[in-house]
Amino acid sequence: MQALILSAGEGKRLRPMTNALPKVMIDIIGKPLLEYHIRMLRQQDIKDIFINLFYLPKKVIDYFGNGKKFEININYSHEYSKKSYLGPKLLGSAGALHNFQKKLRDDFFVIYGDVFMKVDLKKMLAFHQQQKSLFTIAVHPSIHPKDSDLIEINKEKKITRWIKTPHGLNRGLNSAGLFIINSQVLKFLPEIVPYDFAHDFIPLLIKKISLFAYNTNELMIDIGTIDRYNSLLNEYFIL
């Protein structure tokens, strides 16, 4: 099976930590965040991995190479170059799919690189297959609902509404930064970039296909800000 780890972001909210590092390379107890994703995937037999690059790409490539030392295969896209789709240009989270569109097949995972997670991916895949879903989103109760897009679901776990920020709600479910997508969905991907999953692609898809929510209490924490990064270290690594 395949997985795409979204790794192109600059991590502006994590500065000064990201002045000289991509946000997926920030240190988590001696290892870059991206290594945790790769090790989780490998441990669950997902070894065909795609990584999109834009900000300080050499830092990622120098560390991970082709993936051989981690017993996986890594295929990069270079959004900072003319070889990229409509590049050089930052394509956005959903726009990143363009560079891998011909290589992605069947069901594949998409992981937000700035979310630290420990998830039973096989269990999520079983749910996805049971629902005969083309697009499954891992969701959990939002820790910071006021600045998060929120999700409404029905009894069948089908997503019925995607509520964009700003919305004024104080609680609800939100995307945990982990998807399973079937390659059939790629036919709906617009040519326009930059193009975002949360603000653009998912609201479009809700009108076209059934999307399902995999509700889980497993560890998935957005560490895209200094406060959230420190919270992860203090609460889960007990520094």
Query: Is 147 inside a domain boundary?
Result: no
**Is the pLDDT reported for residue 239 higher than 70?**
no
**Is the pLDDT reported for residue 203 higher than 50?**
yes
Neighbours of 197 (CB within 10 A): 25
Q: Region 215-223: what's the mean pLDDT? A: 93
Q: Region 46-62: what's the mean pLDDT? A: 98
Q: Which of 125, 112, 78, 128 is nearest to 98 (CA)?
A: 78
CATH number of 52's domain: 3.90.550.10
Question: In this predicted model, which residue has the larger pLDDT, 237 or 234?
Answer: 234
Query: Is 164 inside a domain boundary?
Result: no
Query: Is 162 inside a domain boundary?
Result: no
Query: Is 128 inside a domain boundary?
Result: yes
Query: Is 160 inside a domain boundary?
Result: no
Query: Is 151 inside a domain boundary?
Result: no
> Which of 93-102, 129-138, 142-151, 216-225 bottoms out in mean pLDDT, i.e. has the lowest?
142-151
Please list, in sequence order, all residues whose beta carbon lies within 8 angstroms of the beta carbon of residue 192, skipping any fewer than 6 positions away: none
Q: How confident is the model at residue 204 (pLDDT cuts 50, 70, 90)?
A: very high
Query: Is 144 inside a domain boundary?
Result: no
Q: Which of 169, 41, 15 is nearest to 113 (CA)?
A: 41
> Which of 23-37, 77-91, 216-230 bottoms out in mean pLDDT, i.e. has the lowest?
216-230
Query: Is 215 inside a domain boundary?
Result: yes
Q: How confident is the model at residue 163 (pLDDT cuts 50, 70, 90)?
A: confident
Look at residue 132 in the predicted model and tell me its pLDDT.
97
SS3 string, the chain, reads: CEEEEECCCCCHHHCCCCCCCCHHHCEECCEEHHHHHHHHHHHCCCCEEEEEECCCHHHHHHHHCCCHHHCCEEEEEECCCCCCCCCCCCCCCCHHHHHHCCCCCCEEEEEECCEEEECCHHHHHHHHHHCCCCEEEEEEECCCHHHCCEEEECCCCEEEEEECCCCCCCCCEEEEEEEEEEHHHHHHCCCCCCCCHHHHHHHHHHCCCCCEEEECCCEEEECCCHHHHHHHHHHHCCC
| Domain boundaries, position 183 | 2-139+175-236
Q: How confident is the model at residue 167 (pLDDT cuts 50, 70, 90)?
A: confident
Q: Is 141 exposed, middle or buried, given 0-12, 13-18 or 19+ CB atoms closer than 10 A?
A: exposed
**Is the pLDDT reported for residue 220 higher than 60?**
yes
Kindly report, residue by residue over 107-155, the tens digit of the pLDDT. Answer: 999 999 999 999 999 999 999 999 999 999 999 988 777 777 889 999 9
C-alpha to C-alpha distance for 195 and 187, rounded to whole angstroms:
15
**Is the pLDDT reported for residue 226 higher than 80?**
yes
What's the total number of domains in the chain?
1
Q: Region 43-71: what's the mean pLDDT? A: 97
> Which of 51-60, 68-77, 134-143 bottoms out in mean pLDDT, i.e. has the lowest?
134-143
Look at residue 201 in the predicted model and tell me its pLDDT.
97
Look at residue 238 in the predicted model and tell me its pLDDT.
53
Q: Region 59-88: what's the mean pLDDT? A: 97
